[in-house]
Structures are given as structure tokens and as C-alpha cells.
Chain A
Amino acid sequence: MNRRRLLLGLPLGVVAVAATGWGVMLARMREGEFDPHTLPSPLIGRHVPDFSLPGLGGGSFASGITGTELQKPGRPMLVNFFASWCVPCVEEAPVLAQLAHQGLPLWGITYKDAPDATAAYLASHGNPYARIAVDRPGRVAIDWGVYGVPETYLIDAAGIVRWRFAGALTNTVIDRDLVPLLRTAS
């Protein structure tokens, strides 16, 4: 009989635990200590992990990208994860082109994309990238903690990741976040 009573009290216990959790979350949200909506990157303030990816091939994209190159680039630069199948990537293409035109080095890593499709994508939407590596299985993206494509990382001269933006870059984001960071990074 006692065991039966315990069993029947179980739902109450589960709800009590869940409600306590929610309560703590809401209280800390009000204090501003807890925000379930941010996408913090584990890479911020650290070097990028070791990796080695092949290049896209064809013309100037023969050489791939390795982690060591990004761990001490000597000047601030952007790394952009993208794919030909992603709509926001198409949206941010003009913004990236403009950044590259202004002289900020931009390297691209394609995420789960066939090289042919990438080449076709670059042909129709323009190519702002100085180097392009191919991450077909998406393993390197996992190591970086990529949330989805497009995603852009700012790496400073010493190779420390300063900033990560998930989603399509816009001029507003660049003026608000990237430009101030670039001033301090260089």
C-alpha cells in the first residue's frame, strides 16, 4: 500500500521539480542573469580548434584552410560558414562582398555542400572569399560550435576569436557590432 501511495505521489514530485526549475529561471531572467535567447559561442576569447580542410579546387581555391593558419593570422579577419542551399547566405552575399571590397580578409568554409553546387553558387552570387575550404561532413563546424549557416567569426591578429554572429549579416549588425570590434582588434 505504501509503495502504491508513493507511486501516486510521483506526478506531484515531478511537477514540483519542474516548477522549481521554471521558478529559478524566471527569477534569474528578471535579474538579467539568465537569457535563454542568446547564442553564446564557446570559441569567444579562445583560439580556433585544430583542423585541416581541403580547398574547393579550381583556380585560386586549390589550397585548403588549416587551424594553425587561423591561430596566428597576423591581422584581423573574418571566417564565414556558408552553403549554396541556404537562403540567408544568398541574402548576406552583397554585404560580404562589400566587406571584402573594403579590404577585410574573408575566408569561407562551405558547410555540407557539394563543391559543384558551391561553384555554381559563387558564379551566380559573386565570390567575396579569398580562400575557400570544404567541410562536407560538417565535422569542423561541430568543433567550432556552428549553430547553422550562415555564421561569421571575427578572429583578431593574435588568432583569438572576438565575435561570432549567427544568421545573415546586415549593414546594421556590421555598424553596431563589427566596426567597433575591428577598431579595438587592430
Chain B
Amino acid sequence: MIPELGHFAIALACVIAAAQAVLSIWGAHRGDARLIAAAPALALGQFIAVGLSFLALVWSGVVSDFSVMNVAEYSSALTPLLYKITGTWGNHEGSILLWCLILSLCGATIAVFGRGLPSALRARVIGVLGAVSCGFLLFTLTASDPFNRIWPPPPDGQGVNPLLQDPGLAFHPPILYAGYVGFSIAFAFAVASLIEGRVDAAWGRWVRPWTLAAWCFLTCGIALGSWWSYYELGWGGYWFWDPVENASLLPWLTGTALLHSAIVVEKREALKIWSVLLAIITFSLSLSGTFLVRSGLLNSVHAFANDPTRGIFILALLGIVIGGSLLLFALRAPVLVPAGIFAPISREGALVLNNILLCAIAAVVLVGTMYPPFVQLLFGQQISVGKPFFDSTVIPLAAPVMAAMGLGPVLSWKRAALAPALIRLWWAALAALVVGLIAAHGLGAIPALGFGFALWMVLSAAAELVERGRLFRVPLSVSWARLRQLPRASYGAAIGHAGLGVTVAGMVGMSLAVHSIQLVKPGQTVALGGYRWMLVSLHDQPGPNWMGRVATLQVNDAASGRLVAIMHPGKRSFPLQQTTTTDVSIKTNGLRDLYVAMGDERGGGVVLRLHVNPLAPWIWFGALIMAIGGWLSLSDRRLRIGAPLRRVATARRGPVVPAE
């Protein structure tokens, strides 16, 4: 009964979404106040309907209703409760429903928090979101119904994919999807403004917080996914340039570009057409990322049912959404009048450079990801594009981004001079140079460059705050007052930039990692990376729905002989799914990770893969700092307060500090 209600709720949501699309956009076009006023209610109604169907699916999972095919295939009686719930979205059908849920949530947030928007614009934005929602709910109903029944129901389900039975991955999809789908709001604003034919400073101000929120989620989602592949897959790496990883990186790159170009729209009313295009591209990449990886076209480690028939439906849907919005762009963008002239060396100029470089990186990653299937289609040749290509193309483009990132925030709007800006950052540049030179001495050119840039990003972000507060130039109490007056967005930006520096330092550290694969018998010792690794014993360890085999290792410092860590890498075999997962053991002290993965056992010994990964935790820690910077910036009162109220608020606060 409950699954049928869930199925009905999807159908209901689909109809509401259709009404939401047609009535809101038509009403805004005709200027019909009643239809415009109906838009938020419809968006909320759609959210409630999708929410109910999602709850119905979770319910079916929790009570282990194996007559629902989705539950029978991806859950079992023995699965722990947490994974019965998270298993809901650990499969194709459920994850699409989660996707639709978040999309309808976006509509509902605009309905609730968008009170400051002009009502016609709000209706159009809600209408566009409704149109997208309607398409994907229709897809759910016709091609990927999560409530399909099987009769007779099997006595037990097949269980969750063991790789996904992990807390890190359980919450990875919702966070990642919140990022992907969150960009739908920026997209809806872009399309709505194209319909209206008007983009102004207010547009930039409205789009920024939504983009920023989506960006924070996406940053966390990507970091969580990469962290999962680091500790769960047991390959010792954190990023494999896999198509699915690239699919999440692409909207992040263009979304970051959008975040910065929207600043220019808000402050200077320039880059309007470009920002609208970026908003459309970012959401288009999110859509393609979520759906094309499921069509079976790209080779990937990520397991989802591949079905070309489903793929054609998806492609048609993407064609309508992406093609339709770009057609609208081609027709309506000429109406938007460019404004706001600026010199190449200015804050705007730096942000344009940021946009060009980020989009260039995105283009390179896109080409690298799409090249193999297209070459096979056109020339019948199988090729693989991997790490060497991406390393040699992305790093040269990323280096100028990092260099310019420190400089941009201290340049003034409209027209700036390079020399005074550089003088303000002299100590950051000097420190980065010194660290770079020291690193070059011991580590080689590329890591030295990386560490130098990483420090530059952190210190230049700090230097910007020092500059804003006139620290060390005016009495400390005055500085303190100035710093307290600074908008939170300034702190957010500085923290975000510093976070990227931390992540880059972690990546450079990881490039210096050492590893070794050894067949070790209990009692034997292996030397690696300044440590002595001794295999103490091997033993069995049973779990709730798996059988485990665990090794105990003792790691001592090679020089002093001091005990550093006791480690327990293991393997788990899941009899129900007939698969084995590796249970990597990681010991970190914040500066380096000791990492052991266990392989096959042979002749009384076991194959161990030992890694010493310098600065590895910094990669994810930096991503967290970036997201914290984003949230801090979001909490800035400027963004919380609607546009008409804003001028009053600034006037009351007084012009103490130039806004960023």
C-alpha cells in the first residue's frame, strides 16, 4: 500500500510541476497577479508530494518490503538500519528520486526565502524550476520507477553494495546532489532573466547566495567522494580522473567562475551575458554529469545499472532543457546591454582572468573526458585519456589562477595599478618565494612551485585582511574595530582562498608519497619512508553481514625505534553479494598518513601495500575550510536581506570600509 501511495505521489508531483511551469510563466507573461501568487504555493505543493514519495521509499527500505524490487535488489534483512535508509539512494532509481526531491526543495526554498524578489521574477524562476522538475519526474515515472513490485517477493534481498556500506559514501550522494541541483536556481534565474530581457546588479545579488550555497555543497560532496575513494577503495590515491569524478569537477569549475563573475554583475553591472551563459552551462554540466554517467557511455568505476534505452530518454530530456535554454540565450542575449567599462588591470580584470582560466581548465577536463568515446565513434579506435594528460594540461592552467588569486582581492575596481598592490603583498610573496626555494632544493621544481603557490594563497588571503584592518599601521584597537566592521563576505572570501591553498599543499604533499607492495609473513619487517613496518599477526574477524580477515602491524620509527602506530588493515568478504572489500588502515598525525591496504594471502604470508602520504589530510581539510568560507560569506547580512532593504541597511551601517 505504502509503495503505491509513493508512486501516486510522484505522479501527483509531476502534474503539480507541470502546472507550476505553465501557470507561473504564463501568469508572469500576462501579468496576472493571481497566477503569479499561485507560483510559490505550487512549488511547495510539489515539494510535499515528492517528499512523501521519498518517505514512502525510505519506509519500504526500513521495513524491508522485498516485494518492492528496488528494496529487494539493494537491501537485505541483515543490512544495518542506517544502510537500509541510505540504501534508498544507493541505486539508480532511488538516486533519481533523491535528485528530484532536491530539485523540488530548490523550488520550495525560492518560494519561502524569495519574498524579497519582484513577484513576476519569482514566478518565472519557480516556473523554470517546475519545468525541469516535470521532465525528470516524468522520467522517474516512465523509465525509472523506484516502486516497481515483484511477485512473489523473495525471502531476502540481495543487500547493499558492500562498497557503499560505509558512512562516508552514505551521505556523499545527498550532499553532492545538493550541490549539483543547487545550481538549478542560478539556471532558473538566468532563464527567467532571459525571458524578461533584463539583467542588472540586483540579478547578481540574488544569484550569488544561491550559487554560493550550491558551491559549498558541491565542494563538500566532491571532497567526501575523494576521501571515500582514498580510504575505501584502497588504491592509495584520492583522485583518479575517472569520468564520474570529472563530471563533478566540471560544474565545480564553472560554478566557481560563476560565483566570481556574479560579483562583477552585482558591483559593476558588467559581464552580464557571460554570467547568464555561465549559469546555464554550470547547471547543464551538473545535469550531464548526473545523467550521462548512467547511460553506460563512459568507462567508470562507479557502478550504476547501464541501460542505453534509458540513456536515450535522458538525452532527449537533456536536449530539451540544455538546448532550449541555449536557444533562448541565442535569441534573447543580444537584448542584454553590456555596461560597466573597466581597465584590464582592475578587480574586474582579475575576475575576468579567473573566469577565463577556470573555464579553460573546465574545457580541458571536458575534452579529456569526452574524447575517448568520440574517437571511438568517429575513427573506431579505442583510446584512454588519463592522469598524464590531465596533469600536463591542468597544472599549467591552474598555476596562473593561483598566482592571480592572491592579487585580485587587493586590486581596486575599475582601474588599478599593479605596483601598489604588489607592495601590499610583499611579505606574502617573499615568504612564498623563500619556501619555494627551500623546497626546490630538496624536492624538485614542481613540488617547490606547488608549495610556494600554496603558501602564497594562504598568506595573500591573510595579507588582504591585514590590509583591510590596517594592522600594524594604526593602533591595535583601531585595527580591531576596522576588522570587526568588515563584512563577513570578506572573511569568507579570504578563508575560501586560504582553504584552496591548504588543499593544494595537500595535493603537492601527496605527489611526494612513497609506496611499496610486499609479500610479508608474520614476524617479518619492511622498511619504507623512514618507518619499520612489522607484520605481527593475521586473524579472522566476523561482522554482521560479512566475514573479515585482519592483519596487525606494528610501525616503528626507523631512526629512533619509537613505536608510532599499531595498524589493522583487513579484508571483508560479503557472502551475499560474493564481493570483497578492502578495509584500509590509516594512521594520521596531521602531517602525514600511514596507509596500509591488505591484499591476498599466500603461503602463510600476505600481500601488503604500504604508503606514506605526506600532508594527505590537508586535501580534505582545505576543502572543508573552503566550504566554511562559503558558509561564512552566506551568513553575511547583505545576502540575507532583500534587495530593496539593502540600501537602507548599508546607509545605517555607515561607509566605514569599502565593500569588497
Name A's B-contacting residues (CB within 8 A): 1, 4-5, 8-9, 11-12, 15-16, 18-19, 21-30, 34, 36-40, 85, 87, 90-91, 94, 124-125, 147
B537 at the interface (CB under 8 A from A): no
Q: Report the separation of the CA atoms of residues A17 and B315 in the bound assembly, to the nearest whole angstrom.
A: 13
**A16 CB contacts on chain B under 8 angstroms:** 323
Q: Report the separation of the CA atoms of residues A37 and B303 in the bound assembly, to the nearest whole angstrom.
A: 13
**A85 CB contacts on chain B under 8 angstroms:** 517
Show 19 A/B contacts (Cβ-Cβ < 8 Å), sorted by A: A5-B330, A5-B334, A11-B329, A12-B329, A15-B284, A18-B370, A23-B312, A25-B373, A26-B295, A27-B308, A29-B296, A29-B297, A30-B308, A34-B376, A36-B299, A39-B382, A85-B517, A91-B607, A124-B519
Q: Report the separation of the CA atoms of residues A37 and B298 in the bound assembly, to the nearest whole angstrom.
A: 8
Known contacts A8-B273, A94-B602, A25 near B297 by CB under 8 Å: yes
Q: Are B334 and A90 in contact (CB under 8 A)?
A: no
**A36 CB contacts on chain B under 8 angstroms:** 296-299, 372-373, 376
* Smallest Cβ-Cβ distance to B386: which chain A residue: A148
**A30 CB contacts on chain B under 8 angstroms:** 308-309, 312
* Smallest Cβ-Cβ distance to B323: which chain A residue: A15
**A4 CB contacts on chain B under 8 angstroms:** 334
Q: Report the separation of the CA atoms of residues A13 and B519 in the bound assembly, to the nearest whole angstrom.
A: 56
Q: Are A91 and B370 in contact (CB under 8 A)?
A: no
Q: Are A90 and B330 in contact (CB under 8 A)?
A: no
Q: Are B600 and A91 in contact (CB under 8 A)?
A: yes
Contact with A26, one of B308, B322, B372, B376 (Cβ below 8 angstroms): B308
Among B76-134, those with CB < 8 Å from A are none
A176 to nearest B CB, angstroms?
17
Q: Report the separation of the CA atoms of residues A87 and B515 in the bound assembly, to the nearest whole angstrom.
A: 12
Q: Report the separation of the CA atoms of residues A22 and B293 in the bound assembly, to the nearest whole angstrom.
A: 12
Q: Are A91 and B315 in contact (CB under 8 A)?
A: no
Name B's A-contacting residues (CB within 8 A): 273, 277, 280-281, 284, 292, 295-299, 308-309, 311-312, 315, 318-319, 322-323, 326-327, 329-330, 333-334, 370, 372-374, 376-377, 382, 384, 517, 519, 599-600, 602, 607, 609
Contact with B599, one of A5, A23, A38, A90 (Cβ below 8 angstroms): A90
Q: Are B334 and A12 in contact (CB under 8 A)?
A: no
**A19 CB contacts on chain B under 8 angstroms:** 315, 318-319, 322-323
Q: Are A21 and B374 in contact (CB under 8 A)?
A: yes
Q: Which of A26, A27, A40, A85 has the most CB atoms of chain B within a 10 A radius of its CB?
A: A26
Q: Report the separation of the CA atoms of residues A1 and B337 in the bound assembly, to the nearest whole angstrom.
A: 12
Q: Are B334 and A1 in contact (CB under 8 A)?
A: yes
**A124 CB contacts on chain B under 8 angstroms:** 519
Known contacts A24-B377, A25-B373, A87-B607, A15 near B299 by CB under 8 Å: no
B243 to nearest A CB, angstroms?
10
Q: Which of A18, A19, A29, A94 has the most CB atoms of chain B within a 10 A radius of its CB?
A: A29
**A24 CB contacts on chain B under 8 angstroms:** 377
* Smallest Cβ-Cβ distance to A8: which chain B residue: B333
**A21 CB contacts on chain B under 8 angstroms:** 373-374, 377
**B599 CB contacts on chain A under 8 angstroms:** 87, 90-91
A2 to nearest B CB, angstroms?
10
Q: Report the separation of the CA atoms of residues A15 and B284 in the bound assembly, to the nearest whole angstrom.
A: 10
**B311 CB contacts on chain A under 8 angstroms:** 26, 29
B187 to nearest A CB, angstroms?
14
Known contacts A1-B334, A19-B319, A37 near B299 by CB under 8 Å: yes
Q: Are B326 and A90 in contact (CB under 8 A)?
A: no
* Smallest Cβ-Cβ distance to B298: which chain A residue: A36
B359 to nearest A CB, angstroms?
12
Q: Are B327 and A12 in contact (CB under 8 A)?
A: yes
Main secondary structure, interface of B, reads helix
Q: Which of A8, A16, A28, A38 has the most CB atoms of chain B within a 10 A radius of its CB?
A: A8
**A28 CB contacts on chain B under 8 angstroms:** 377
B611 to nearest A CB, angstroms?
12
List 9 A-B pairs, minimum CB-CB distance, nearest first. A9-B330, A12-B326, A29-B308, A30-B308, A26-B311, A8-B333, A26-B308, A11-B326, A12-B330
Q: Are B296 and A90 in contact (CB under 8 A)?
A: no
Q: Report the separation of the CA atoms of residues A90 and B516 in the bound assembly, to the nearest whole angstrom.
A: 13
* Smallest Cβ-Cβ distance to B284: which chain A residue: A15
Q: Report the separation of the CA atoms of residues A52 and B318 in the bound assembly, to the nearest whole angstrom.
A: 52
Q: Are B315 and A125 in contact (CB under 8 A)?
A: no
B361 to nearest A CB, angstroms?
17
Excluding A23-B315, A36-B376, 17 further A-B contacts by CB distance (< 8 Å) are A5-B330, A5-B334, A8-B273, A8-B329, A11-B281, A15-B284, A18-B370, A19-B319, A21-B373, A24-B377, A30-B308, A36-B296, A36-B298, A87-B599, A90-B599, A90-B600, A91-B607
**B519 CB contacts on chain A under 8 angstroms:** 90, 124-125
B303 to nearest A CB, angstroms?
13
Q: Report the separation of the CA atoms of residues A91 and B372 in the bound assembly, to the nearest whole angstrom.
A: 29
* Smallest Cβ-Cβ distance to B311: which chain A residue: A26
Q: Are A87 and B382 in contact (CB under 8 A)?
A: no
* Smallest Cβ-Cβ distance to B326: which chain A residue: A12
Q: Report the separation of the CA atoms of residues A4 and B382 in the bound assembly, to the nearest whole angstrom.
A: 39
**B296 CB contacts on chain A under 8 angstroms:** 29, 36-37
Q: Report the separation of the CA atoms of residues A28 and B329 in the bound assembly, to the nearest whole angstrom.
A: 32
Q: Report the separation of the CA atoms of residues A74 and B35 in the bound assembly, to the nearest whole angstrom.
A: 84
**B377 CB contacts on chain A under 8 angstroms:** 21, 24-25, 28, 34
* Smallest Cβ-Cβ distance to B318: which chain A residue: A19
Q: Which of A19, A22, A85, A125 has the most CB atoms of chain B within a 10 A radius of its CB?
A: A22
* Smallest Cβ-Cβ distance to B602: which chain A residue: A94
* Smallest Cβ-Cβ distance to A39: which chain B residue: B382
* Smallest Cβ-Cβ distance to B235: which chain A residue: A87
Q: Which of A5, A11, A24, A147 has the most CB atoms of chain B within a 10 A radius of its CB?
A: A11
Q: Are B322 and A15 in contact (CB under 8 A)?
A: yes
A123 to nearest B CB, angstroms?
10
Q: Report the separation of the CA atoms of residues A131 and B280 in the bound assembly, to the nearest whole angstrom.
A: 59
A156 to nearest B CB, angstroms?
23
A22 to nearest B CB, angstroms?
6
* Smallest Cβ-Cβ distance to B607: which chain A residue: A90
**B323 CB contacts on chain A under 8 angstroms:** 12, 15-16, 19
Q: Report the separation of the CA atoms of residues A12 and B325 in the bound assembly, to the nearest whole angstrom.
A: 9
* Smallest Cβ-Cβ distance to A125: which chain B residue: B519
B200 to nearest A CB, angstroms?
19
* Smallest Cβ-Cβ distance to A17: which chain B residue: B374
* Smallest Cβ-Cβ distance to A4: which chain B residue: B334
**B376 CB contacts on chain A under 8 angstroms:** 34, 36
**A91 CB contacts on chain B under 8 angstroms:** 599-600, 607
Q: Are B299 and A22 in contact (CB under 8 A)?
A: no
**A9 CB contacts on chain B under 8 angstroms:** 330
Q: Report the separation of the CA atoms of residues A38 and B382 in the bound assembly, to the nearest whole angstrom.
A: 8
**A27 CB contacts on chain B under 8 angstroms:** 308, 312
Q: Report the separation of the CA atoms of residues A36 and B372 in the bound assembly, to the nearest whole angstrom.
A: 8
Q: Report the separation of the CA atoms of residues A26 and B315 in the bound assembly, to the nearest whole angstrom.
A: 9
Q: Are A15 and B308 in contact (CB under 8 A)?
A: no
Q: Are A22 and B315 in contact (CB under 8 A)?
A: yes
* Smallest Cβ-Cβ distance to A19: which chain B residue: B319
Q: Report the separation of the CA atoms of residues A133 and B7 in the bound assembly, to the nearest whole angstrom.
A: 63
* Smallest Cβ-Cβ distance to A40: which chain B residue: B382
**B334 CB contacts on chain A under 8 angstroms:** 1, 4-5, 8
* Smallest Cβ-Cβ distance to B516: which chain A residue: A85
* Smallest Cβ-Cβ distance to A145: which chain B residue: B382
**A22 CB contacts on chain B under 8 angstroms:** 292, 295, 297, 315
**A94 CB contacts on chain B under 8 angstroms:** 602
A164 to nearest B CB, angstroms?
12
**B374 CB contacts on chain A under 8 angstroms:** 21
